[in-house]
């Protein structure tokens, strides 16, 4: 099918001035002839607009809505695009096959699943139900597996199996690359995966991952269905193609067997490998779809020329042959260069940010809502949160909760609180229920018996927890862990008596709770690093009571609690969560080797995804960009005491930014 650029739109579709409403790059992509198309849409270049107008253009050329398949990653993106299409053409979204990969997989399986022996009345189980079913399955295979606290709990185990399924890698490779804490036991996971799959089949249920796996199976094993889809959808459009995992890319390849596919994405923004996204999908697209025409959309409407010049500098540092050549062009007037800000440490970094924010909001009239602090990992924002709380600067964390409210941080603080004050029943409750088969009532009974024994024997409560009388009240499933748990409490208590609060925190991290963390969280390594940041925070206090009091006061006094939709507040977010967003002013913090890029990436000699993450951070800024790095890390932070500037900063030509050195006492 060839397109007639001068053709009149079908009846009912209003005329659209594609040439007048699109720039040259967008227009060329939107009006491209049918065939395999790879559209590289740079940051801020109007990707959504291009996709929307492509759908409208296809309709104007006589393509029926039912012949267009639009694949997205979120329902929000799908609804937004189809709503815009409706505004342009008057055609209602319900007439399209448009939605997320999973929703369309469900739709296909519901209609054609019998071709792979999937009954039409199958039901979908949610994440909690999937974990529960996996737990039952594992216990039927090995009833002792979950008794070892270093083994993954059902949730983390499900994460391991899910990632292996979505990447189509073996469990062994998946563990080696993403979950090194389970390396010694990964050989036990395969029987669990097989038994779990069998149990789902017996119960006629599917989980979230099955919606992709079975859809692909349908396309591979039912050729008549695959051919039907390939002919029905004359045009397949894929949004954010760089984020596709192996399953999703294979589904697209099957659906686009006749190569009527437009994949829109940006290789420079592929930053989600940890959840299965495969960078190779976009890099090998041309090879899998012969005759692919490549379109670049490089005009950026978001940022100043100076910010884009720095962003292009980041791209130039990528390895040759491992990326698509691109150069962002600005549509805005010139302004100031980005600043690279060197501070003595994290606290000085935070003080600089506060001082600059006050100038921006009070003197220059910039809304606090248009200012963002971006960071690689949560622990890098700790000092900023503390400084903002102390100074009364309203802020809102858009990627989770405050540092001291994160689950693992609260767990560890509760453990330390209990050791410091064994009468603190709230702290006791939070910690002891982490042991298997101990609930709130069980925790209360154990604590009551321990108090009686402590009074009777005239000993510290922690010293009597290991006695037979107390242990008899402990659930049998928890007794294997009990002695280790009690030993850990005694170690922390001993450290409190003879050493600093920081040392006591370190002891708590390296003992029982550190082992518990391995099994409780699939992202154990990241959470462990966050806990290490507590050591640095504790280092500023000489007395444990002062440390514990300050943690509570900081949480109670923070202005974040009062922020609502009508209150202007600085946005604090990880770079991952900031993708797709933009702000007038952006501060990127913690730009030191070992922090950004992270230590694990450096040790693995693989920092390319981190470099792409840095590119995403830079391109969130519209008007002003501050790239900040401390010379000294807080004690316990990755990289040691002395830090080097991020290699991503060192790679940049010096004419792309202005160095800004902090004078002592926070002037500049």
Q: Apex CA 442: angle with CA 440 and CA 445, to 5°?
A: 110
Cα four-point dihedral sign 262, 267, 269, 275:
positive
Which tokens hold the place of 393?
């600067």
Mean pLDDT of the region 397-425: 87
Confidence of residue 638 (pLDDT cuts 50, 70, 90): very low
Helices 512-520 and 407-420, axial angle in degrees (round to 10): 160
What pLDDT does residue 1 have? 52
Distance from the Cα of residue 439 to its chain's centroid? 31
Distance between CA atoms of 413 and 648, rounded to whole angstroms? 35
- Burial code (b: 16+ CB inside 10 Å, e: under 16) for 155-168 equals bbbbbbbbbbbbbb
Q: What is the torsional sign of CA 610, 611, 614, 619?
A: negative
336-370 tens-digit pLDDT: 999 999 999 898 999 999 999 999 999 999 999 99
Q: What is the pLDDT of residue 562?
A: 46
Rounded Cα–Cα distance for residues 333 and 329 (Å): 11
Give exposure, 553-576, as e/b (b: 16+ Cβ within 10 Å). Answer: ebbeebbbeebeeeeebbbbbbbb
Q: What is the pLDDT of residue 14?
A: 85
Sequence-ordered alpha helix ranges (H) in 61-186: 75-89, 101-112, 127-141, 154-167, 171-178
Q: How confident is the model at residue 430 (pLDDT cuts 50, 70, 90)?
A: very high
Each residue's pLDDT tens digit, 153-204: 999 999 999 999 999 999 999 999 999 999 999 999 999 999 999 999 999 9
Confidence of residue 4 (pLDDT cuts 50, 70, 90): low
> Coil, strand, or helix at residue 11?
coil
pLDDT of residue 536: 82
Write down the pTM of the prediction.
0.88
Residues in the chain: 668
At residue 526, the pLDDT reads: 86
Q: Is the pLDDT of residue 564 over 90?
A: no
**Tens digit of each residue's pLDDT (9 = 90 or more) over 318-339:** 998 889 998 999 999 999 999 9
Q: Round to whole Å and give the CA distance between 422 and 322.
A: 57
- pLDDT beyond 70 at 15: yes
Q: How far is CA 326 from the centre of its chain?
A: 26
pLDDT in tens, 42-78: 999 999 999 999 999 999 999 999 999 999 988 888 8
**Position 560 confidence tier, pLDDT thresholds 50, 70, 90:** very low
pLDDT band of residue 272 (cuts 50, 70, 90) is very high
Supply the pLDDT for residue 554: 67
Please tell me the distance from the alpha carbon of residue 659 to that of residue 388, in angstroms, as a whole number: 24
Calculate mean pLDDT across residues 578-602.
94
| pLDDT range class, residue 667, cuts 50, 70, 90 | very low
pLDDT recorded at residue 663:
66
Question: Greater confidence, 436 or 27?
Answer: 27
| Residue 257: pLDDT band with limits 50, 70, 90 | confident
pLDDT at res. 529: 85
């Amino acid at each position: 099918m060839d397109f007639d650029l001068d053709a009149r739109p079908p009846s009912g579709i209003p005329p659209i001035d594609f040439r007048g409403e699109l720039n040259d790059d967008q227009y060329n992509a939107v009006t491209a002839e049918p065939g395999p198309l790879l559209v590289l849409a740079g940051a801020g270049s109007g990707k959504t607009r291009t996709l929307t107008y492509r759908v409208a253009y296809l309709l104007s050329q006589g393509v029926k809505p039912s012949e267009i398949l639009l694949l997205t990653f979120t329902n929000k993106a799908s609804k937004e695009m189809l709503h815009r299409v409706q505004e342009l053409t008057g055609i209602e979204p319900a007439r399209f096959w448009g939605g997320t990969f999973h929703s369309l997989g469900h739709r296909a399986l519901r209609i054609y699943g019998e071709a792979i022996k999937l009954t039409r009345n199958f039901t979908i189980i949610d994440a909690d139900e999937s974990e529960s079913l996996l737990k039952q399955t594992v216990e039927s295979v090995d009833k002792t597996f979950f008794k070892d606290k270093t083994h993954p709990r059902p949730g983390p185990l499900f994460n391991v199996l899910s990632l292996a399924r979505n990447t189509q890698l073996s469990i062994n490779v998946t563990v080696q690359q993403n979950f090194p804490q389970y390396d010694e036991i990964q050989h036990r996971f395969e029987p669990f995966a097989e038994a779990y799959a069998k149990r789902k089949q017996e119960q006629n249920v599917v989980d979230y991952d099955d919606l992709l796996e079975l859809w692909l199976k349908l396309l591979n094993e039912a050729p008549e269905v695959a051919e039907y889809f390939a002919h029905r959808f004359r045009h397949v459009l894929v949004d954010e193609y760089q984020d596709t995992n192996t399953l999703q890319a294979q589904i697209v390849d099957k659906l686009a067997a006749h190569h009527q596919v437009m994949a829109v994405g940006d290789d420079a923004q592929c930053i989600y490998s940890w959840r299965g996204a495969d960078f190779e999908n976009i890099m090998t697209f041309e090879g899998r779809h012969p005759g692919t025409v490549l379109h670049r959309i490089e005009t950026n409407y978001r940022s100043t020329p100076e910010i884009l010049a720095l962003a292009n500098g980041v791209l130039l540092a990528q390895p040759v042959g491992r990326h698509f050549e691109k150069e962002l062009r600005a549509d805005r007037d010139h302004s100031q260069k980005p600043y690279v800000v060197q501070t003595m440490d994290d606290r000085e970094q935070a003080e600089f940010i506060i001082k600059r924010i006050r100038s921006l909001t009070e003197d220059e009239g910039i809304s606090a809502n248009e200012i963002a602090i971006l960071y690689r990992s949560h622990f890098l924002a700790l000092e900023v949160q503390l400084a903002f709380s102390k100074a009364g600067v309203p802020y809102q964390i858009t990627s989770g909760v405050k540092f001291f409210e994160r689950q693992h941080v609260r767990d560890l603080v509760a453990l330390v609180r209990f050791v410091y004050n064994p009468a603190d029943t709230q702290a006791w409750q939070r910690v002891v229920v982490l042991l298997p088969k101990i609930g709130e009532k069980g925790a209360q009974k154990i604590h009551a018996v321990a108090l009686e024994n402590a009074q009777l024997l005239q000993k510290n409560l922690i010293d009597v927890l290991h006695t037979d009388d107390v242990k008899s009240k402990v659930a049998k499933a928890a007794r294997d862990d009990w002695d280790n748990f009690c030993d850990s409490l005694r170690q922390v208590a001993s450290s409190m008596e003879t050493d600093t609060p920081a040392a006591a925190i370190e002891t708590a991290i390296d003992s029982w709770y550190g082992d518990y963390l391995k099994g409780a969280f699939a992202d154990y390594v990241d959470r462990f690093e966050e806990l290490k940041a507590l050591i640095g925070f504790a280092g500023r206090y000489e007395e444990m009571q002062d440390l514990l009091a300050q943690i509570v006061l900081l949480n109670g006094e923070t202005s974040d609690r009062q922020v609502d939709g009508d209150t202007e507040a600085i946005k604090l977010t990880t770079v991952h969560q900031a993708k797709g967003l933009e702000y007038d002013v952006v501060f990127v913090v913690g730009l030191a080797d070992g922090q950004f890029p992270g230590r694990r990436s450096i040790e693995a000699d693989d920092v390319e995804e981190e470099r792409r993450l840095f590119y995403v951070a830079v391109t969130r800024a519209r008007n002003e960009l501050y790239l900040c790095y401390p010379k000294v890390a807080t004690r316990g932070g990755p990289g040691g005491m002395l830090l080097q500037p991020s290699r991503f900063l060192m790679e940049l030509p010096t004419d792309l930014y202005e160095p800004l050195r902090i004078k002592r006492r926070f002037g500049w």
